[in-house]
Structure 1
Amino acid sequence: MCQDNSAGAAFDPAADIPDLTGRVALITGANSCGIGFEITKRLAAAGARVYLGCRHAGRARKAMADIRESLKRESMDPRKLGEKRLAPQMEFLHLDLITVESVRETVEDFLRKETRLDILICNAVTLSKQYELNEDGVETTMAVNYIGHFALTTLLQPLLLHTALLPGADVRIVMMTSALHTKVPKDIKLHTQADLNATKAQFLSCKDSRMACYRRYFVSKLALVLFTRSLQRRLDAHELPNPIIVTCVHPGMVSSENMKSQVPAPFRPLLPLFSITPPRGAYTPLFAATAPVVRTRRREYAGQYLVPFGKVGKVAKAADGEDGEALFRISEEIVRSSTRGCGRES
C-alpha cells in the first residue's frame, strides 16, 4: 500500500500530472478495464494524444468511449466546475506482440502517423496456459511479455531519441513488471534462446501445468527488469541534453480482470482484502511516466525498479550482475532473425 516515505506517496494522477498538451504516448494492452485503461484515461485527461496498442479494434474503441464518458462525468463534479478540460485525444493502434514481424508492422504504421513519442508504457501481459513456440521460435509468454516489448521499444528508439532532442523534452519509457520476478531462482541464466524457451516444469509432462505457466510468467517479468537496466545504460551513452528515463514498475497487487481469472471463484470476494483497484494500480506507472520529481531526481530513478507508490524497490538477486547484457544481445539476435522469417536457437 502507500508508503509515506516514498516520493510518490502524495502523487495524485487526477491532479498532479503536468499539462501534456502536444505530447504523444503509446500504451500497450490498454483496452480492458485494468491498469492500461486507467493510464490511458489519465494521460488523455492531461492533454496527451494517446495511442492504445491493442489487438482488437472493437475493444479499443469501447475503451475509448468508456474513457470519454468517465472524463465527462468527472467534469460535471461540482468541485471541478470551471476547470478547463480538453477533449481527450485517443487512437487505436493495432498491435499484436506475439511475433516480431507483427510488432515491426505496428511500428511502421505508427511512424507514418507521428513524428514524436514522449511516453512509451509497455503494459500488455499474458499468462499462456499452453506451452508453445511462436513463429520466431520463442515461447509465447516470453514472446508477448518481453520479446514483443523489446522489439517495440528498440524499433521505436530512433523516434524516442529524436523526441528527446526537441525543446522541453521529457521522454519516459515504463516497463510493467511484477514483484513476482523475485520468485525466480537467483542462479537462472537468460543467455540463449533455449534459456528463454525453458518450460520451467519439473517434468516435461508438466509443461502445461499451472505452476509451470506461473514460472514462465515470473521469468518474463525478470527479463523486463534486466531490459530496463541495460536499455538505460545504452540510452545514457547518447549523452542527450534531456536524457531519456527508463523505469520498470510493480503496480501492486491489482484486482484486475486478469488477476481475477487466476483466482478460484469462491475466493474472489476476498480480493479487496489484499489487493488494490486498477485506478490505484495505475498510480506508480503514471508517477514513473509523468511526475516532475522523476526528472529533477533523475539519478535516483533512471533505470530503477519502482514499487507503490513511486518508491525505488529492491530487485531480485537474479537481476544483479551483468546478465542483462547477455539477454539484450540474444534479444537483438531474435529480432534480427525475424527478418529472415525464422527463429534460431543459440
Structure 2
Amino acid sequence: MLETLRYLVGSAGASGYGSKSTAEQVTENCRDLHSITAIITGATSGIGAETARVLAKRGARLVLPARNLKAAEDARARILSENPDADIIVMGLDLSSLNSVRNFVSEFESLNLPLNLLINNAGKFALEPAVSEDGIEMTFATNYLGHFLLTKLLLKKMIETAKTSGLQGRIVNVSSSIYKWFSGDMIRYLCEISRNKLRDFDPTRAYALSKLAIVLHTKEVAQRLKLINAANGGQRDGELCSSRSRQNQTHKRARRHGHRYSIFLDFEALENYSSGCCHNLLCSNTSSTCKCDREVLFGLQ
C-alpha cells in the first residue's frame, strides 16, 4: 500500500526518479550521444515516439522500423522539426511476419552501422482472434515472437559493437505488469488460440501471455549475456546488458472494452507518454554513456 501511494504522488525511489519523472529528466545528465545508434520498434506513436524524440534530442542516431512507413515518416518529420540535425533512418518491418524480420535485419546489416541500443517497444492488443502468416496468434506473434527473432538476429552485431566501441550495449524489452495475471500452460494456451480452438477468445489473457513470454525471454537473454561477458574476462567495457521496462498505452484500450484484469492497470495508465517512456530510457542508459541509475522504476523487479 505504501509503495502504491508513493507511486501515485511521484516520490523518488532508489534510482532518484519517480512516476512523475519525464524522459528528459531521466536523460538530462547524459553526455552527447552522437556515438550511439539505436533501433526502436513501435516509435510511430505513444511511448515509442517519445523515446525516439528524446534520444534524438540527445544526439543518438535512430533507426525506426515500422509496418506503416507513412506513419514512420511522419514520426521522423516531427522529430526533425524539433531537431533538424537528427540522424533518423526509416525502414520497413512487420513484426508479425518472421520473413519481414529477417529482411529487415538483412537490410540493416547492409548499412554497415553499429548497434548500441535495441528497444523492443512495439506492442499489439488484438481484440479479435487472428493468426499471423506464420500461423501464430497475432498478439503473441507481434509482441513476442517478432521481437525474439529480431533480438536473436541482431545480437551478434550488438556484441561486435560493444567490443569495438568499448561502450556498454543495451537491449530493452518493454513488458507490462499484466504478465502476472497469466496462469496455466503457456504452450498449450498458445496452441489453442493459434488454432482458434477456444469458444471465447480473451484478448487480455492473450496479451498477458505475450508479456509473460517477454519477461521470461529477458531473463534468459540477460543470463546468457552474463556468461558471454564472463567469458570475455568480466570487463565492463564492451559489456552487453538486457533490461526490461513496461508500457501503458494498451491498458486504456483494454479498459474501454471491459476486459478482465484491466482495473488492476489503472495506476500505470495514469502516466503520460513523457513519464511512461522514461522507463525505456532509464533502462537504455549505461554507465558508459550516462550517469543515470539503471534501476527500473516501480513494478517489475
For the structure 1 residues 151 and 272, does the alpha-carbon distance in structure 2 shift closer, same or farther, using more than 3 Å as the test?
A: closer
**Any gaps of 5 or more consecutive residues in structure 1?**
73-86, 266-270, 315-346
Question: How far 1:291 sits from its partner (Å)?
Answer: 4.9
Q: Which residue of 2 aligns with 1:213?
A: 203
* Partner Cα distance (1:273, 1:148) in 2: 25
Partner of 1:135: 133
Which residue of the other structure, out of 267, 273, 279, is the alignment partner of 2:274?
A: 279
Q: What's 2:87 paired with?
A: 89
- The match for 1:6 is 14
User: Post-superposition shift, 1:170?
Assistant: 1.5
Task: Report how far residue 217 of structure 1 moved.
Answer: 0.1
Identical counterparts, % of pairs: 28
Secondary structure of the corresponding residue to residue 132 of structure 2: coil
Report Cα offsets for 1:203-243 as digits up to 9, x if no partner.
Answer: 93212xxxx10000011001000000101111222224332
Structure 1 SS opposite 2:38: strand
Partner of 1:76: none
Q: Report the CA distance between 1:272 and its aligned residue.
A: 10
Give the structure 2 partner of residue 83 of structure 1: none
Distance 1:292 1:41, change over 3 A: same
Instruction: Give the Cα–Cα distance (whole angstroms) in 1 for the partners of residues 30 and 109 of structure 2.
Output: 26
Alignment of 1:198 onto 2:171? no
Root mean square deviation, CA, Å? 2.9
Q: Give ranges in structure 2 of 5+ residues lacking alignment.
A: 1-6, 258-265
**Residue 20 of structure 1: aligned partner:** 33
Deviates more, 1:105-114 or 1:241-250: 241-250
Distance 2:245 2:213 in 1: 13
How far apart, CA to CA, are the structure 1 residues paired with 2:121 and 2:162? 22
The alignment's TM-score, normalised by the length of structure 2, stands at 0.81
**Which of 93, 102, 119 does residue 100 from structure 2 map onto?**
102
Alignment of 1:229-244 (within 5 A): 229-239=219-229, 240=232, 241=235, 242-244=238-240
Residue 153 of structure 2 is matched in structure 1 by: 155
| 1:287–1:14 Cα change, 3 Å | closer
**Distance in 2 between residues matched to 1:41 and 1:289, nearest whole Å:** 14
Say which of 292, 313, 324 aligns to 2:287. Answer: 292
Equivalent position amino acid for 1:4 in 2: A
User: Structure 1 residues 165 and 273 mapped into 2: Cα distance closer, same or farther (>3 Å)?
Assistant: closer
Distance 1:273 1:166, change over 3 A: closer
Superposed counterparts of 1:334-345, under 5 Å? none
Residues of 1 paired with 2:146 and 2:38: CA distance? 18
* Residue identity matched to 2:167: A
User: Partner of 1:250 in structure 2?
Assistant: 246
The aligned residue for residue 222 of structure 1 is 212
**Contact 2:36/2:115 (CA < 8 Å) preserved in 1?**
yes
**Aligned equivalents of 2:220, 2:114: Cα separation in 1:** 23
1 CA distance for matches of 2:189 and 2:199?
A: 19
Corresponding letter in the other structure for 2:96: I
CA separation of 1:141 and 1:17: change in aligned 2, threshold 3 A:
same
